[in-house]
Structure 1
Amino acid sequence: MTSVRIATGQDTEAILALHTDAIRVLGADAYNNRQIDAWAEKEDGTKAYPTTENGHHLVVAERDGKIAGYGHVITNAEEIRAVYVDPDHARCGVGSTILAHLEGYALGQGLDRVELWSSLNAVPFYERQGYRTIRDETIQKEYEGESVPLPVRVMEKTFGPWR
Structure 2
Amino acid sequence: MYVRPATAADRAALPAVHTAAVRAFGPEHYDADAVRRWAKPGGRSPADYEPDTDDEHVVVGVRADSVAGFGHLVPIAGEVHAVYVHPDHARHGVGSAVLAELEGYARGRGLDHLSLQSSLNAVGFYERAGYERVGEGESPGGLAVVGMEKGL
Would you say 1:19 and 2:12 are equivalent positions? no
1:8 is matched with 7
Are the aligned partners of 2:80 and 2:115 in contact in 1 as well (CA < 8 Å)? Answer: yes
Q: Count how many residue pairs are aligned between Structure 1 and Structure 2.
A: 151
TM-score normalized by structure 1? 0.88
Report deviation, 1:50: 1.8
C-alpha separation in 2, matches of 1:87 and 1:25: 6
After TM superposition, list the pairs within 5 Å mapping 1:109-124 onto structure 2.
Answer: 109-124=109-124
Are the aligned partners of 1:80 and 1:115 in contact in 2 as well (CA < 8 Å)? Answer: yes
Report deviation, 1:44: 5.3
**Structure with greater Cα Rg:** 1
Alpha-carbon RMSD across the aligned residues, in angstroms, is 1.5
Structure 1 residue aligned with 2:145, among 152, 156, 163? Answer: 152
C-alpha separation in 1, matches of 2:11 and 2:80: 18
Percent identity of the aligned residues?
A: 45
Are the aligned partners of 1:136 and 1:152 in contact in 2 as well (CA < 8 Å)? Answer: yes
2:50 is matched with 50
Are the aligned partners of 2:13 and 2:46 in contact in 1 as well (CA < 8 Å)? Answer: no
TM-score normalized by structure 2? 0.94
Q: Which is richer in strand?
A: 1
Name structure 1 gaps, 5 residues minimum: 142-148
Residue type of the alignment partner of 1:153: V
Report deviation, 1:45: 2.2
C-alpha separation in 2, matches of 1:126 and 1:41: 24
Report deviation, 1:46: 2.0
C-alpha separation in 1, matches of 2:33 and 2:52: 33
C-alpha separation in 1, matches of 2:27 and 2:3: 27
